[in-house]
């Protein structure tokens, strides 16, 4: 029986993985059976009655793995409630135009499967963790480093999504 909720994600440096874990933890606290898994490892959607799918934003876009996952499973995903979240550094600035840009990272997947909810969260950027290529880019754009994740906002979003998945 499809009684679980899937939280599927991609993450290059682990910060989105931790956001996905926090979302899963919040749902579990509400009594839901949850699996938090990298999108690339999920093969079968039959155990799931809903899916929450997220990616970090790199150069304005989602990473390929969750996009491929949604493309491959779009038929199953159209039959259950789906929510998307994006994690990006720009979100920290809070400016509505920038938030819109961050939300635009989800345009493609929204066209494949219409979500019941979307969320954008500030992420984490730590130079010491980055590949040389990524460090070069962040230096060029003078990106601000630090951990800007707002755990209460993330957990509140998870609760709001659960309300949409199973209205009282």
Helices (H) and strands (E) in the chain, counts: 7, 8
Nearer to ligand FMN, 147 or 166 (CB): 147
* 15 counts as binding ligand FMN under rule CB under 6 A: yes
* 27 counts as binding ligand FMN under rule CB under 6 A: no
Give dist(CA 152, CA 136) in Å, integer.
32
Two tokens, residue 49: 């009655």
- What's the closest the beta carbon of residue 126 comes to ligand FMN, in angstroms? 8
- Which residues inside 57-96 make contact with ligand FMN, applying CB under 6 A? 57-60, 87-91
Interface contacts to ligand FMN, rule CB under 6 A: 11-16, 56-60, 87-91, 102, 123-125, 130, 134, 137-138
């Amino acid at each position: 029986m499809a009684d679980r909720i899937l939280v599927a994600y991609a993450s290059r440096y682990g910060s989105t993985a931790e956001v996905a874990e926090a979302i899963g933890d919040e749902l579990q606290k509400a009594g839901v059976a949850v699996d938090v898994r990298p999108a690339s490892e999920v093969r079968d959607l039959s155990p799931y009655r809903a899916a929450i799918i997220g990616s970090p934003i790199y150069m304005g876009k989602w990473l390929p793995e969750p996009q491929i996952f949604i493309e491959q499973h779009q038929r199953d995903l159209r039959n259950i409630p789906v929510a998307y979240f994006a994690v990006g550094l720009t979100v920290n600035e809070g400016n509505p135009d920038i938030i819109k840009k961050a939300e635009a990272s989800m345009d493609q997947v929204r066209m494949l499967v219409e979500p019941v909810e979307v969320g954008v969260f500030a992420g984490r950027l730590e130079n010491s963790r980055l590949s040389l290529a990524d460090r070069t880019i962040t230096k060029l754009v003078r990106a601000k480093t630090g951990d800007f994740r707002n755990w209460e906002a993330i957990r509140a979003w998870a609760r709001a999504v659960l309300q949409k998945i199973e209205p009282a």
